[in-house]
Amino acid sequence: MLWRGLLYGMVDGALLSSFPWLVAWRAFDGESSSFARRVAISLLALGSALLVTSAYHCGYRDSRGPKLAQANLGNAIASLPTLLSLNPVASPIAHAILHVTAVTHNPQSDLFLPPHAPGAARSAATEEVPLLTPAPVIEFPLRGTWRVLQPPGHAPHAFDFVGVDRDGEYSSRGWLAYLLTSSAADWYGWSEPVYAPFDGAVVGARDGWPDREAVTLVLDAIRLYVFRPKIRDGDIRPLAGNHVMI
């Protein structure tokens, strides 16, 4: 908790958020600038922070690909305290809170925590367990092209399936969908049919649940970190009453 949560989070926030902001703020004399100029400097600092974040995470093989967008989204949220308060200490505190949350809820995460040695994060999951009966054949429940993600805060064997187009984009609105509120219909996985992964009997069904009309990833991420139930020592009882969001 002390190293991977607090100390690593503070250093991460200082390098990825506060340092780019200080460089932009000092270079363009933000102290004596007008309000409009300060806003422009803050936007430039945010862009610089995302550029540094991308360069930093590309140095780790397990942080490339789809995880790079998640890392940039997380750093953009954690950079807001410094951009809004003009205090370089605010973002390291926010980063430390994010890392402590990741250590507490999902210590096997390799997105907001230092990368693990190959296979170390999943050592418990790869232990051989003797089977008394043959394992059932479970088919993929979707059709088309999908990407499998495991954002921070997920249980070790919980995954998200996200529909993508030929270019690997999640939404028809491109990168704007990550920053702005977008219609659920803009996401390629929306309204796609879900198939039974194996044979079985339907014992119950309900209809009439309201559809989700819009998606705002920033607010969703805040809800994830603030309101997610806490799991300790493998005890899954805090998940009781949780819901699956499609």
pLDDT band at 146 (very low <50, low <70, confident <90, very high): very high
* Side chain identity, residue 145: T
DSSP 127: S
Tokens of 81: 């305290």
Q: Could you read off the pLDDT of 147-199 as tens digits, one per residue?
A: 888 766 666 777 888 899 888 888 888 777 667 778 888 888 888 998 988 88
Q: Could you read off the pLDDT of 230-239 as tens digits, one per residue?
A: 666 666 666 6
pTM: predicted TM-score of the whole model, two decimal places: 0.42
Residue in 145, 150, 140 with CA at minimum distance from that of residue 163: 145
Mean pLDDT of the chain: 75
Tokens of 82: 């410094």
